[in-house]
């Protein structure tokens, strides 16, 4: 019974449970060097407090490797419109903070289609060229995931 209660608590506190109730929020799969994790999280909270003072900001996940799943969520239905008004700026400022802390916007799931434009400032052109070279070497005919990978290089 005790074990069941612990699993219930864990499941109800999971980001996906909270995310389902706040689909207008922001979520990040960022990583920073482990020794920067505390100051980085403090900076994210400071940015959120400045732009969206009523937002709920928290980190979740396997922080032992510097990976933190960050969530910035409006706290109530009344807070959705003001939150949406600053949402883009909030995302941009958190992205910038991630780069300042020598971090990445894609800790474990790759760049994907959605992050390419946001991650572009983090990587110098030579890294993008290298990624394109590897992709071309592994898939010279472009049949693996056509028209999807490294869109920002087109």
Give me the long-range contacts of 106-109 (CB less than 8 A, separation at least 24). Answer: 106/29, 107/29, 107/30, 107/31, 107/66, 107/67, 107/68, 108/29, 108/31, 108/67, 109/29
In the chain, the domains with their CATH numbers are 2-110 (3.30.70.2740), 123-154 (no CATH)
Could you tell me which residues are beta bridge partners of residue 31?
A: 67, 104
pLDDT per residue as tens, the chain (154 positions): 778 876 776 666 655 556 555 678 888 888 899 999 999 999 999 999 999 998 888 887 777 777 888 889 887 666 688 889 999 999 999 999 999 999 988 877 667 777 777 887 777 889 888 888 888 899 899 888 777 766 555 5
């Amino acid at each position: 019974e005790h074990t069941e209660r612990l699993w219930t608590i864990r499941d109800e506190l999971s980001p996906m449970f909270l995310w389902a109730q706040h689909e207008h929020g922001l979520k990040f799969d960022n990583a920073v060097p482990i020794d920067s994790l505390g100051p980085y999280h403090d900076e994210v909270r400071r940015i959120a407090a400045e732009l969206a003072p009523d937002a709920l900001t928290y980190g979740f996940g396997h922080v032992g490797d510097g990976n933190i799943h960050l969530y910035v969520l409006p706290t109530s239905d009344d807070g959705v419109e003001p939150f949406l008004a600053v949402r883009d700026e909030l995302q941009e400022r958190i992205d910038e903070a991630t780069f300042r802390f020598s971090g990445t916007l894609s800790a474990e799931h790759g760049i994907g289609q959605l992050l390419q434009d946001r991650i572009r400032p983090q990587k110098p052109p030579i890294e993008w060229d290298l990624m394109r070279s590897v992709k071309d070497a592994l898939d010279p005919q472009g049949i693996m995931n056509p028209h999807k990978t490294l869109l920002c290089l087109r």
